[in-house]
Amino acid sequence: MTTDEATADLWNDVDALWAWLEAGQPHGGTEGLLLRMLKLSEEVGEVAQAVIGATGQNPRKGVTHTWDDVQSELCDVVITALVALRTLTPDAREVFTRHLARVAERSLGAGGRGSGA
């Protein structure tokens, strides 16, 4: 699979997840939009819970998670964020691509990826 195919699959999956959520959402309009954005906070909290569990930081519970759990929770954050972006605009792919390019330019410099500038 090429990078372009993987990117197309990612955004096709984001669109499909968005459509599935839209069809079954109990709250529409502004309330539904706000609840979709709040879902992101819930997922970030699950990352924190997994990190605490993977490091055994809660002495009452000990080690309850693995670093694979942390990876899965981070993936959930990314998916939730992309679906939230799709909720805001049907042009989510273009909006994200432009923003990523700006962040990469700002962070990596004119030399592009891996320049370390």
Q: pLDDT tens digits, residue range 67-97? A: 999 999 999 999 999 999 999 999 999 999 9
From the list 39, 28, 10, 32, the residue with the least C-alpha distance to 100 is 10
pTM comes to 0.86
**Backbone φ, ψ for residue 26 (5° rounding):** -80, -15
Whether the predicted pLDDT of 117 surpasses 80: no
Rg of the Cα trace of the chain?
A: 18
Whether the predicted pLDDT of 113 surpasses 80: no
- 74 with 47: CB under 8 angstroms? yes
Q: pLDDT tens digits, residue range 29-62? A: 999 999 999 999 999 999 999 999 999 999 999 9
What are the distances in angstroms from CA 76 to CA 4, 19, 41, 48, 115?
22, 17, 11, 13, 30
Measured distance CA(77)–CA(44) in Å, rounded? 6
Whether the predicted pLDDT of 115 surpasses 70: no
With a CB cutoff of 8 Å and minimum separation 6, the contacts of 98 are: none
Give the residue-averaged pLDDT of 4-15.
Answer: 91
- 66 with 54: CB under 8 angstroms? yes
